[in-house]
Structure 1
Amino acid sequence: MARIKPQALLLQSKRKKGPTRIGASTIVLCNLVVALIVLSIMATYRHWYKRSMDQTEDGKSTFEGTDVRTLVDLKKYDLPGYAILNTSKGYITIELYKESSPEIVDRFLDLCQKGYFKGMPFNHVIKNYVIQGGEYQGLGAAEELISHAKLHLQLGTSPKHEAFMLGTSKIRLDSKGFDLFITTAPIPDMNDKLTVFGRVIKGEDVVQEIEEVDTDEHYRPKSSVGIINVALKREV
């Protein structure tokens, strides 16, 4: 009998052993496991993201302390688009102009989350003109605001700011403070002083009720009226 050489045996062994094939059922099972892992991660992300946007009972966001600018970079359009002012006369719902005034809205949101507006009084209430809260130095002094109001009430010229708009003074944008103005009538002469970053979409009657409070000769309310807290919402 002829002997088979070792090299021939090695070649025969290689020919008999083919590559191991993975069954179709194994591939399907692996794909299902991967899909379940991905879905689980997505569900966890949505759950914690939703919790981060919820409001606490005192009107401050649960992601207090988070840099709003960082959130804007990550997901700009998921930022709250509405602010609900809880005032001593009722609720005022504001639609924020995130696209036309992004920097001011960012700062407003940041201050809301830090509780800056909690307990802020309305320092001046000028009927058929404006309601002002916070320290106002946009015109140099409150007296100049009053003089503009008197001039406006006398002239009644063409409007540049509509009624029920939310704004802040331009001169305070680089400072630590932040003042609020809610117009109660079209204002013709404040376009170079105020930056509008929102409008009242609900609660106009509350604005008008605040407008009716008794004031002294300097338009300061005789009884306390102001903001209790601010709640931020993505939808209303």
Structure 2
Amino acid sequence: MKRILSALLLLVGAHASAAAPDIQKDNLYPKVEMQTSMGTIVVELDRTRAPITVDNFLNYVVKGEYDNTIFHRVIAGFVVQGGGVGPKMDMKKDGKTIVNESGNGLSNAVGTIAMAREGDPHSATRQFYFNVADNTKLDPSPRRWGYAVFGNIVEGLDVVQAMSEVATGHNATLNWQDVPMAPIILKTAKLLPVK
């Protein structure tokens, strides 16, 4: 019986370690390349300031969860948001919510990437946004939680700015405003190798 139990525990342990994705836990500033229908964007993430948020985002990246999604909310002079909706306006499955790491010293400045959330400050899961303006009103204050910034664009800010200027309107499927009239596709998101 002990042999069977030992073998079973080894098998479970091997399966768990094989299933764990490589998110470069020792890399404090991992980079992710996003191939979109409007061009390439590279973001550098800051694990020193937002370790939980970076790990959460990278888990979605390495599992291919962002591939073939759309940027579904675009507001000129404000944000470009994506990560949770497919091209047929299908909502992607959310993982667990994460702790809000706003107040980490990173501001919602132009060219940064941050986590979208609902009214609950700890409700972020998979959706993210790019700031296309200095949105300091999204930063925390003594009276409210902010939106957690976890990196910045190091290549392709012009691509994101162009995204922010596309025509948008109401989408009847999701009953949302600010949806691009022509879909902006996030074709792939991949974790770049450490250099």
Q: 2:77 matched to which residue of 1?
A: 128
TM-score (norm 2): 0.65
User: Are residues 1:226 and 2:156 paired?
Assistant: no
Q: Give CA deviations for 1:183-216 in whole Å, capped at 9, x if unaligned.
A: 0000021123410111001111111111121111
What SS class does the counterpart of residue 159 from structure 2 fall into? helix
Q: Distance in 1 between matches of 2:130 and 2:18?
A: 26
Q: Distance in 2 between matches of 1:110 and 1:80?
A: 15
What SS class does the counterpart of residue 69 from structure 2 fall into? coil
Relative to structure 1, the CA distance from residue 212 to residue 169 in structure 2 (aligned partners, 3 Å threshold; closer, same or farther) is closer
Number of aligned positions between the proteins: 146
Q: Distance in 1 between matches of 2:35 and 2:121?
A: 24
Deviates more, 1:163-172 or 1:220-229: 163-172
What SS class does the counterpart of residue 58 from structure 2 fall into? helix
1:169: how far off? 2.8
Q: Distance in 2 between matches of 1:183 and 1:167?
A: 8
Q: 1:36 matched to which residue of 2?
A: none
Q: 1:184 matched to which residue of 2?
A: 132
Do the aligned residues in 2 keep the contact of 1:135 with 1:177 (CA within 8 Å)? no
Q: Give CA deviations for 1:61-111 in whole Å, capped at 9, x if unaligned.
A: xx9842458x63xxx23x771001111101001001011111111111111
Show structure 2 runs of 5+ residues with no match.
Answer: 1-16, 86-106, 140-144, 171-176
Q: 1:10 matched to which residue of 2?
A: none
Which one has the bigger helix percentage?
1
Q: 1:163 matched to which residue of 2?
A: 110
User: Are residues 1:112 and 2:61 paired?
Assistant: yes
Q: 1:60 matched to which residue of 2?
A: none
- 5 Å-filtered alignment, 1:54-65, equals 65=19
What SS class does the counterpart of residue 40 from structure 2 fall into? strand
User: Are residues 1:194 and 2:133 paired?
Assistant: no
Do the aligned residues in 2 keep the contact of 1:169 with 1:193 (CA within 8 Å)? no
Show structure 1 runs of 5+ residues with no match.
Answer: 1-62, 137-159
Do the aligned residues in 1 keep the contact of 2:34 with 2:40 (CA within 8 Å)? yes
TM-score (norm 1): 0.55
1:232: how far off? 0.8
1:134: how far off? 3.5
Tell me the amino acid that sits aligned with residue 112 of structure 2: M
Q: Distance in 2 between matches of 1:123 and 1:179?
A: 10
Tell me the amino acid that sits aligned with residue 165 of structure 1: T
What SS class does the counterpart of residue 178 from structure 1 fall into? coil
What SS class does the counterpart of residue 186 from structure 1 fall into? coil
1:235: how far off? 4.3
Q: Distance in 2 between matches of 1:64 and 1:121?
A: 30
Q: Distance in 2 between matches of 1:182 and 1:208?
A: 9
Structure (1 or 2) with the larger CA radius of gyration: 1
